[in-house]
Structure 1
Amino acid sequence: MEALRRAACGLLFQHAQAALCCYDAGDRVLFWNAAYPAFFPEVAAHLRVGMHFLDSVTAFLRVQHPDVDAAEIEAGAAAALDRHRRLEGPLRYQRGDDGRWLELRMFPQPDGSRIKIWNDVTTAQMAPSEDLGMLELLTVGHVGLIVHDAQGRLVYTNSRYFSEMFLHVLTTLPDIRQRDAHATYWPRFHEMFDDAADYRALCERPDAGALAAPATLKARTGRWFRIAEQAWRGGIASVWTDVTDLLEREQALKAAYADMMALNIQLRDRAETDSLTGLPNRRRFDAVLSEAQARVDAGAGRVVGIVDVDHFKSVNDRFGHDIGDGVLIEVARCLRQGLVPGDVVARLGGEEFGVVLADVDGGAAFERAEDLRRRVEALACGDGRGGVVRVTVSIGLAPMARDVAVTDTVRTADLAMFQAKADGRNRVRAA
């Protein structure tokens, strides 16, 4: 013990302001210096002489990760003990709580005991100006970062990478210190991720260098990680970001957007549909007329028709509005059935309907309108008393033309419809 204390004192002369802790050959705590609690207050709070290294690490992990299950804590502690026994050369790492950089050195003694010394190297770590960008990345709290040099040796890792994000990977840390070949490196993460196609593609890619594009993988825990890599000083810097919340928000936004678009379509349909007959209403008919005019300007033929049910007021007066509504529904059905693809019929209000006949000239339009008139004339609607109600329609036609306003065309068709009524009703008149 005395020889060990002398060795420790000698080392402290070389490493002023350093934290020191000594362990015997059985990995039990022998003593520590006054600086140790300042470096590791969360450990010193429960550290005792004679305490086994494994017990101290287990207690520390339980404090740092209260929500992690016991098996995972034990696995992490066992991996830490393995590193404690096999540590060679200085190891630099970043603390997760305050962002400081520490350098750990192990000094084995002839009797099997070990002296561990921690130096705060934050200032030295930040000295090279070319490292400032990397250090900014290392200190970002919500990403994990791991860097391998040109020889594949692990040179940097921030605390989030192997603690909060991948505590259960601590058990494999000794095995992934060397990124010697992608064929062995990536598959070591197999236990972390679902066996999905994107994971297999990552493992099977022929290039052992940095990823050409970010990869997004789902862990077996249900979390999603996006991995971005780039060359750095001949080596590879890998940034791991937990994007689970981001992806969930994206999915929620997409779902909300889809719902909103569906609702907009429903609202538009309701706003442009006649509630009684199910036909397009005047608002939609105006839009159809504008579209038809554009086609006419491009050389197509379109004819506008105004259809009005003859003596409809008397139907309401004699049989009531319910029967009148039933008559309008049947007239609408009859007109719809008489159209051909490309034609449109709408209810403009009351007993008045509008039609747009597509790809016709004046003569063909007249014949189509006559067919509609005959269909309505053949209707036999129930009167609610065991009898029938028969109605007829008067139709006015007007061809759409270039450089003629839609409103003028509709007015012309309307005048033609009134002419049909003046000529005795139940007939077609063309302007």
Structure 2
Amino acid sequence: MGVRVKTLYFSMGSMLSMFVIMRITSHLSGMDIPLPIYILSMMFAGIMSYPFYVLLLESWEKNQRLRKELEQMVAHLQRKADVDDLTGLLSRSAFLERAEAMLKEDQVWLLVIDIDHFKEFNDTHGHQTGDAILQIVGHVIRSVLRPGNLAGRLGGEEFALCLTAHDVMSATNRAELVRAGIQALGVEAPSGGMLRATVSIGLSPYRAGQSLEECLHAADLAMYAAKTAGRNQVRLAA
């Protein structure tokens, strides 16, 4: 319903209100008000109130549009803050905040993933190639996530996953899917040929009484153990 139609209804309401007021006035004063006075008064009420209702309704609808645009802008900015643009995964802050809440779930596992020799990719083939590798890693991680799982980019070439309802075998299998999926995909080098990235993954269960930082640290140590052992593998925290 447009502003003009709404205004017409409101003006008709003003005219009806004027009619009621005049009827009450005539009964209280004991005087009959002539019909032309009724008509003129009602017309006057409608004509005088029409511009007011137009302005009122236009202002209300404008405020509604502005409020909707503001809500959309806030949602967009929130998403920009929560999601890493390059990989489509959660940002570090968003991942840590949501993972903290997931520690109350059963059988929680944290994975820390680091791309092997990533600096060499950037130094040798340029940052565009490095960005392409980051995007591949993000794509593979998203493809293996199950409902209720979390994945985020902690920064640079380091990523993290938070898995729930996984025993040690299923969590390890999930980590192996990530590792093998990344190794299987290639990136075309600027000079020609295909480049393949590998990742080292550390895996740690959440233990009662641990903080999120402690569990992530354990997974991080396991990831470094995987690098020390030759990279491109999954290591379980001690």
The TM-score bracket by the shorter chain reads: 0.7 to 0.9
Which of 248, 252, 275 matches 2:62? 252
Which of 127, 136, 139 matches 1:333? 139
Which of 175, 198, 205 matches 1:399? 205
Instruction: Tell me whether 1:146 sits opposite 2:21 in the alignment.
Output: yes
The verdict on how the C-alpha distance between 1:316 and 1:166 changes in structure 2, with shifts beyond 3 A counting, is closer
Task: Measure the CA separation in 1 of the matches of 2:203 and 2:68.
Answer: 42
Query: How far apart are residue 401 of structure 1 and its match?
Result: 3.6
Amino acid at match of 2:42: F
Does structure 2 retain, via aligned residues, the 8 Å contact 1:416–1:429? yes
Greater CA radius of gyration, 1 or 2? 1
- Counterpart of 2:180? 374
- Counterpart of 2:196? 390
- Counterpart of 1:269? 79
- Counterpart of 1:292? 102
- Counterpart of 1:430? 236
Local SS of the residue matching 2:89 = coil
Q: Percent identity?
A: 32
- Counterpart of 1:232? none
The verdict on how the C-alpha distance between 1:167 and 1:306 changes in structure 2, with shifts beyond 3 A counting, is closer
Query: How far apart are residue 277 of structure 1 and its match?
Result: 2.0
Instruction: Tell me whether 1:358 sits opposite 2:168 in the alignment.
Output: no
Does structure 1 retain, via aligned residues, the 8 Å contact 2:22–2:38? no
Does structure 1 retain, via aligned residues, the 8 Å contact 2:99–2:150? no
Task: Measure the CA separation in 1 of the matches of 2:61 and 2:47.
Answer: 28
Cα deviation code 1:167-198 (max 9, x no counterpart): 69xxxxxxxxxxxxxxxxxxxxxxxxxxxxxx
Does structure 2 retain, via aligned residues, the 8 Å contact 1:146–1:158? no
Local SS of the residue matching 1:258 = helix
Provide the aligned C-alpha RMSD in A: 3.1
**Where does the alignment leave 5 or more consecutive residues of structure 1 unmatched?**
1-142, 169-220, 225-241
- Counterpart of 1:316? 122
- Counterpart of 1:417? 223
Query: How far apart are residue 357 of structure 1 and its match?
Result: 1.5
Give the helix-richer structure, 1 or 2. 2
Instruction: Tell me whether 1:164 sits opposite 2:44 in the alignment.
Output: yes
Does structure 2 retain, via aligned residues, the 8 Å contact 1:146–1:161? no
Larger RCO, structures 1/2 (Cα 8 Å, 6+ apart): 2
The verdict on how the C-alpha distance between 1:245 and 1:401 changes in structure 2, with shifts beyond 3 A counting, is farther
Does structure 1 retain, via aligned residues, the 8 Å contact 2:26–2:32? no
The verdict on how the C-alpha distance between 1:271 and 1:167 changes in structure 2, with shifts beyond 3 A counting, is closer
Cα deviation code 1:254-311 (max 9, x no counterpart): 2211111100011111122222222221121112212212x42xxx332111100011
Local SS of the residue matching 2:163 = strand
Amino acid at match of 2:68: A
The verdict on how the C-alpha distance between 1:372 and 1:166 changes in structure 2, with shifts beyond 3 A counting, is closer
Give the strand-richer structure, 1 or 2. 1
Query: How far apart are residue 154 of structure 1 and its match?
Result: 8.2
Amino acid at match of 1:255: R
Task: Measure the CA separation in 2 of the matches of 1:360 and 1:262.
Answer: 37
Does structure 2 retain, via aligned residues, the 8 Å contact 1:343–1:356? yes
Query: How far apart are residue 362 of structure 1 and its match?
Result: 2.2
Local SS of the residue matching 1:165 = helix
Task: Measure the CA separation in 2 of the matches of 1:361 and 1:342.
Answer: 15
Query: How far apart are residue 155 of structure 1 and its match?
Result: 6.4
Amino acid at match of 1:252: K
Does structure 2 retain, via aligned residues, the 8 Å contact 1:304–1:398? yes
The verdict on how the C-alpha distance between 1:158 and 1:268 changes in structure 2, with shifts beyond 3 A counting, is farther
Task: Measure the CA separation in 2 of the matches of 1:158 and 1:403.
Answer: 81
Taking structure 1 as the reference length, what is the TM-score of the superposition?
0.45
Cα deviation code 1:1-36 (max 9, x no counterpart): xxxxxxxxxxxxxxxxxxxxxxxxxxxxxxxxxxxx
